[in-house]
């Protein structure tokens, strides 16, 4: 009788492990430790001069790690004084954030709302209610952000001369008068 294989084809990572779990599709893992996922090398997709505003933001593209294409999931860390984005609203994309650690100020059309560890917020597509998060504390704050990738989505930025259009999976940026950046 053959002995059982001591190495299963798939396994879950344990705390302290730095390997990535194999998957039937060798390009994507089954599981990973979120903190060990490499940070995005591109800090911002915004055009100049807006991109420079996001040096204190670090994103780990968790959804991309697993090859997810219908929605994105980012583990995001904001250093003290950093912002998640420019204040924006999507026409077709729903967004959700969950604060894992720290405090963030949510800025919307209604004003400022403090979000602390364990709190969450959702932004329905098409409402026009622009939003962003700012870390106004002296400590890092970490949160999960989840959003879909609805075709034909557009984003408006009421505080800036900027609009964005999702075109074949790529965001394209324009001035409000239609000129491209």
Q: Are 164 and 173 in contact (CB under 8 A)?
A: yes
Alpha-carbon distances of 90 from 96, 127, 165, rounded to whole Å: 12, 8, 10
Peptide bond into 49 cis (omega under 30): yes
DSSP character for 5? P
* Burial class, 6, CB count within 10 angstroms (exposed 0-12 / middle 13-18 / buried 19+): exposed
Q: Confidence band (pLDDT; 50, 70, 90) for 39?
A: very high
- Our CA angle for 83, 35, 99, nearest 5°, is 45
The overall pTM is greater than 0.75: yes
Q: Confidence band (pLDDT; 50, 70, 90) for 15?
A: very low
Q: Where are the alpha helices (DSSP H) in 17-145?
A: 62-65
Fold exhibited by the domain 56-174 = Jelly Rolls (2.60.120)
Sort strands 170-174 and 154-157 into parallel, antiparallel or unpaired: unpaired
pLDDT at 2 over 60: no
pLDDT at 149 over 70: yes
């Amino acid at each position: 009788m053959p002995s059982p294989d001591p190495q299963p084809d798939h396994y879950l990572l344990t705390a302290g492990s730095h390997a990535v779990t194999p998957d039937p599709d060798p390009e994507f893992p089954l599981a990973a430790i979120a903190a060990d996922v490499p940070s995005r090398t591109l800090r911002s997709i915004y055009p100049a001069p807006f991109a420079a505003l996001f040096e204190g933001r670090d994103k780990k593209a968790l959804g991309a790690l697993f090859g997810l294409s219908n929605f994105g999931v980012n583990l995001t860390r904001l250093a003290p004084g950093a912002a998640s984005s420019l204040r924006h609203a999507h026409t077709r994309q729903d967004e959700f954030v969950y604060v894992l650690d720290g405090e963030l100020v949510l800025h919307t059309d209604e004003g400022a709302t403090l979000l602390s560890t364990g709190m969450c917020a959702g932004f329905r597509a098409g409402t026009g209610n622009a939003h962003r998060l700012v870390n106004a504390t002296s400590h890092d704050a970490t949160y999960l952000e989840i959003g879909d990738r609805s075709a034909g989505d557009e984003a408006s930025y009421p505080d800036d001369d900027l609009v964005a259009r999702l075109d074949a999976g790529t965001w394209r940026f324009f001035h409000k008068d239609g000129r491209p950046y």
